[in-house]
A and B are shown apart, each in its own frame.
Chain A
Amino acid sequence: MIEKALVKRSSKSYWAWIIFLLVLIAVGFAAYIYQMTQGFAVTGMSRDISWGMYIGHLTFFVGVAAGGVMIVLPYYLHNVKEFGRITVVGEFLAIPAVIMALLFVVVDIGSPMKLFNVYLYATPHSMLFWDSVVLPCYLLLNLVVGYSVLQAENKGVHYKKWVKFLALVSIPFAFSIHVVTAFLYSGLPSRHYFLTAMLPAKFLASAFATGPALIILICFLLKKLCGFDAGETAIKKLSTISAYAYTATLFMVGCEFFTAFYSNVPGHKAALQYLFFGLHGHNQFVPLMMVFVALAVVALCLMIPRQNRDNPITLGVGCACIFLTMYIEKGLTFIIGGLSETPFGEIASYHITVPELLIIVGVFAIGFLIASILFKLVVVVKKDRDVDAFPQEDRAGLAARLLAKGSDK
């Protein structure tokens, strides 16, 4: 089946996009080789900020991967039929997202040739060990389920019972990947910004806002590029989920502010002060956090009133704002904010370097490449099998194609 995505009906612009991504991957890989030969001194990380953008991105993309469950769960558990057409989009979104998350771990490891020590000397009291267990499991589940569902659709049959069973298994795994990732931080005794029982809940809420928002944007893109229509009800339901989850996330961010500033405990305030207002003369993230606040207000205004959510333009902008704000809050600033106050009460600053940036771009390109291939596969299969999904499609052309497909066999 995969050959359909790789070669068949590939336009010139598709190939140009693939080649563009391959170039970015090559650049990122070169930067990674540079980091490996020179050491992590070429990154912005330091003795104080020992985790930086890589681990931030890991956290964010685990969230994106977990967010796909907001289609899978309603469809398989609550029989929300409107999601039937796009469950595979949710599953296939999780695949590049988990791969990106895993790659962000790999590029962050100082001695990657010893990486498999994590399995060789399995250590159940380490949260990082559990992360390295649940992430590959979730990846495998989504690969098998997504591919099987699509293959069944391609053959014009219903997927097998065990596929549904695995899909159900993948639901608790989706939650577990983000909870374990939150436990990586929320169990550290001296990092006030991390040390909050709110963290796993906040991570899940933001994932359930970000995932559906991204799926809506992907559906819009697929409609524009390939004429694929996810269905109005599906988009509406997704936008409602995203809007509620986003509001819950911002509520929890607000709760952190209340606890820190009402209690007035310096350690609790430090990271928020550093990120949002600047502390001890260090204010490098303040402009970014102002963008976060502004876009969050825009997102709330566009996502909460129903008439805005029903309008594709305002919905698109709202979803983009949700994605960007959560990327800023969780991906770019959470880790660095949490580590910014050193064990000696000073503020350590962090400045991303060019090699670090190129490696991040490279990992993004790998994710986009996998996503492009997978979503093209979805479109190619659906074009033949789910006629209603392509309202603008030329029916005569479709009939000719199906005829040709029949004579192939």
Chain B
Amino acid sequence: MENMSRRKFLKLGGAAAVGLGAAVVTKTADAAQIGGSYQKDSARMQAKNWGMVIDMSKFSEESFNACVEACHSFHNVPNIDTKKDEVKWIWKQTYEQLFLDETHEHLSAKYKDQEFMTICNHCQEPVCVRVCPTKATFKNDQGVILMDMHRCIGCRNCMAACPYGARSFNFKDPRPYIEEINPTYPTRMKGVVEKCNFCAERLALGQLPLCVELSNGAITFGDIDDPQSGVSKLIAENFTLQRRANLGTKPKVYYIV
């Protein structure tokens, strides 16, 4: 099945150095089984369980804003002003809002109001996947929680279920709110739910997620099931927090506070 012997690290230029934990396993196509000259795409970045470590102390305001801008414009996320109807994949929340269970009333404002990057946690035990009546939201073979926009009926059960507020519903047609449509990524229609996809479309091309690339080393991406990966090493060496770990969802976005 999987040829685990050929393990190598991809280098994706300067910014991609942070991706040193991204273990890449190239699969050899079983020609006899498939027939013809089929060859599995070896460019695809593969891991058993993608995860992320965010070190806010290394994250500058500029690079954070660049991440948000790049993510939202690449993924055709509409820029809707009204808070009620907004769609967002990546944004900021304060420590107090993000780590509800790890705060207290006397915590210094210095920490309370510190801002943190917020995205989908790509949980190992995702509640959204459990409740979805059509499997429109699902976990792929690499531990990334994805959405099938064509299958989503817009029941919003996943939004009620998500403990992280990661999901947005298209309350109106998003297209008029996209400044410039990126033709390489699909736009959505009104009436479906969407969220961060760990840049699965970029992983398929052997590229790191946009926010990872633009974070100037503040975000590390890799296989959390592989003890040799960059994320695993960071988690082993630093004090890290998960959001609402007590809920059993096993989120895979870790924060170095």
Contact = CB atoms under 8 A, between A and B. Distances in A.
B171 A39 contact: yes
B202 to A, nearest CB: 26
Interface stretch (B26-34, B62-70, B152-160): B152-160
Contacts of B173: 39
B165 interface: yes
A50 B163 contact: no
A344 B97 contact: yes
Interface string A183-199: 01101111100000000
B44 interface: no
A406 interface: no
A344 B165 contact: yes
A115 interface: yes
B170 A39 contact: yes
B96 interface: yes
Contacts of B172: 38-41
Interface residues of A, number: 42
B182 interface: no
Nearest to A266: B100
Nearest to A184: B157
B155 A123 contact: no
Given A39-B170, A343-B165, A50 B159 contact: yes
B86 interface: yes
A217 B177 CA distance: 51
A190 B170 CA distance: 23
Contacts of A346: 97
A320 to B, nearest CB: 32
Contact of B100 (A127, A185, A344): A344
Nearest to B101: A267
A42 to B, nearest CB: 9
Interface stretch (A22-30, A105-113, A139-147, A394-402): A105-113
**Which one of A46, A112, A191, A346 has the highest number of Cβ atoms from chain B below 10 Å of its Cβ?**
A46
Contact of B191 (A110, A339, A343): A110
Contacts of B169: 40, 47, 50, 110
A117 interface: yes
A185 B161 CA distance: 9
A121 B171 contact: no
Contacts of B159: 47, 50-51
A344 B163 CA distance: 9
Contacts of B153: 109-112, 114-115, 117-118
Contacts of A345: 96-97, 100
Interface string A334-351: 000001001111100000
A284 interface: no
A190 B150 CA distance: 28
A99 to B, nearest CB: 19
B131 interface: yes
Contacts of B161: 188-190
Top 3 A-B residue pairs of the complex, sorted by shortest distance between their CB atoms: A110-B154, A110-B191, A190-B163
Interface of A: 38-41, 45-48, 50-51, 105, 108-112, 114-115, 117-118, 120-121, 123, 125-129, 132, 184-185, 187-191, 339, 342-346
Interface of B: 82-86, 93, 96-98, 100, 127, 130-136, 150-157, 159-165, 168-173, 189-193, 244, 247-249
10 contacts: A40-B172, A40-B190, A108-B156, A121-B136, A128-B155, A184-B157, A189-B127, A190-B162, A339-B160, A344-B165
